Amino acid sequence: MSQFDVCVIGAGPGGYVAAIRSAQLGLKTVIIEREYMGGVCLNVGCIPSKAMISASHFFHRVGHDAAEMGINVGEPKLDMKQLQKWKQSVCDKMAGGVAQLLKGNSVEVIDGEATFKSKDELVVKSKKGDVSVRAKNFIIATGSRPIEIPGFKFDEKDILSSTGGLALSELPSKVVVIGGGYIGLEIAGFLSKLGTHITVLEAGAELLSGVADKEAVQVVARKLKKQGVNVITQAKAKSWKKSGKGLEVTAEVGGKDQTFECDKVLVTVGRKPNSDQLNLKGVGIQMDERGFIKVNPQMKTNLPGIFAIGDIAGQPMLAHKASHEGVLVAEIISGKNRVFDAKTIPAVIFTDPEIASAGLTEEQCKAKGFNDLKIGKFPFAANGRAVSVMETDGFVKIIADAKTDIVLGVHIVGPEASNLISEAVLAIEMGARAEDIALTIHPHPTLGETMMEAAEATLGHAIHIIQRPLREGAKSAPART
């Protein structure tokens, strides 16, 4: 039996970060992983999906935009097996890097599946036999998995989860995507660009409901339609069957059943925490009605010495939140007085164009009592860098409190939104005003200038769009390009 200061269960972006930081702080640390070093994110989630999205964007632009620039390369051809090989090399490189970091920080690694024997001890089933591990502190970071819906059990052949959707060795001709959330739209987007006909069945009234600015979602919806993606809202998938050489999905649309032919069905209706494992209930760890482990602002569970981070500890289920919590818990265990006190957690959706958000939406502002707002928007169509790279869809929107000018929310839909949002996160964390962003000199020509110009628009004096004078008491100045 081994004794440690810290035992981390799960080597995803929360777990491995927690283990590394714990070791840096002088704590004897072990990490247990049953499947993927780097977790879902590095192996079958964030990283492979972004690799596929990048490849599809490149493929699409070669076939559609290159000639307009005077670059004639002919019709591009797709080698799906080579694409998958390249994608896997990216994942392997990242996972290998995690293994090296753990080794370099003297973190002991145990490959196997852990189960709590008591609140002080784990039993790990490994290829070498059972291993008992005792620790003063345990950090549960076992993540989440895709949700199945009735009648659509995953087999990763006909009915795919996100994992299967990222591992296709042959490009399907037609795919029905059940669920119009961010995972479904990201995979639908890259498959569509590679040449697959996509039908999205969304049970709700709109795509990306509740997860992004409504105006930003409209930009993405228009782009999907332009790409030929068939989006059907208020459509409830009921069943599927094999039909000829393909599949047939039945969905209730507007009170009537409709059928949709396809080669594959991709189910992306969300993820659920892996809290039915580890014998959590057996040792008395409390969970809520959705299966998330209950934690306080220090990520402590109801049992002393046991912490939970990442997806299993509640929404939002984002890798960067998990990593932040991993550092937080390691420092708390080492004796630092810290709590989770982030003002905002940025969210990014890698659709085309990308959506990125920090802070509050207009609806959330009003729900919190901010009824007097200043809202400024600056379109990428008026940005020189965006025009030069032929990526002009979308805008930057800044929402500020009209009484104080403090920035409450920033929403970006457009090229490199995922990279641009960090400035907004810092601004909100620091309590910046719109004027602080507007007066910050941004380099030219860059996409980042749109943040400065959106702040100027919020104040009513944008330079590169025409605004009518801001009336006293008005929430924002109308603009046109």
Kindly report, residue by residue over 415-457, the tens digit of the pLDDT. 999 999 999 999 999 999 999 999 999 999 999 999 999 999 9
Residue 341 lies in a domain: no
What mean pLDDT is predicted for residues 313-328? 98
The pLDDT value recorded for residue 471 is 55
The pLDDT value recorded for residue 478 is 47
Pairing of β 2-9 and β 29-33? parallel
The pLDDT value recorded for residue 127 is 86
The model's pTM: 0.94
Residue 111 phi, psi dihedral angles, 5° rounding: -90, 120
In whole angstroms, give the CA distance from residue 455 to residue 435.
7
Asked if 113 and 35 count as a contact pair (C-beta separation under 8 A), the reply is: no
What mean pLDDT is predicted for residues 177-193? 98
The pLDDT value recorded for residue 475 is 53
Tokens 């390009």 -> residue: 481
The amino acid present at 81, given as its one-letter code, is K
pLDDT at 271 over 60: yes
Whether residue 263 sits in one domain with residue 315: no
Does 151 or 475 have the greater pLDDT score?
151
Which residue segment(s) compose the domain that 217 sits in? Answer: 159-269
pLDDT at 7 over 90: yes
Number of domains in the chain: 3
Confidence of residue 360 (pLDDT cuts 50, 70, 90): very high
Burial 1-22 (b: 16+ CB within 10 A, else e): eeebbbbbbbbbbbbbbbbbbb
Confidence of residue 480 (pLDDT cuts 50, 70, 90): very low
Residue 203 lies in a domain: yes
Confidence of residue 481 (pLDDT cuts 50, 70, 90): very low
The pLDDT value recorded for residue 474 is 52
Confidence of residue 120 (pLDDT cuts 50, 70, 90): very high
Whether residue 136 sits in one domain with residue 11: yes
Cβ-proximal residues to 421 (8 Å cutoff; 6+ apart), any chain: 346, 348, 356, 357, 358, 410, 412
What mean pLDDT is predicted for residues 195-224? 96
Whether residue 276 sits in one domain with residue 141: yes
The pLDDT value recorded for residue 472 is 52
Q: What is the mean pLDDT of the chain?
A: 95
Q: Choose the final residue of a domain: 236, 269, 302.
A: 269
Asked if 177 and 160 count as a contact pair (C-beta separation under 8 A), the reply is: no
Residue 339 lies in a domain: no
What residues are annotated to the active site? 444
CATH code for the domain in which residue 433 is found: 3.30.390.30
Whether residue 248 sits in one domain with residue 324: no
Residue 153 lies in a domain: no
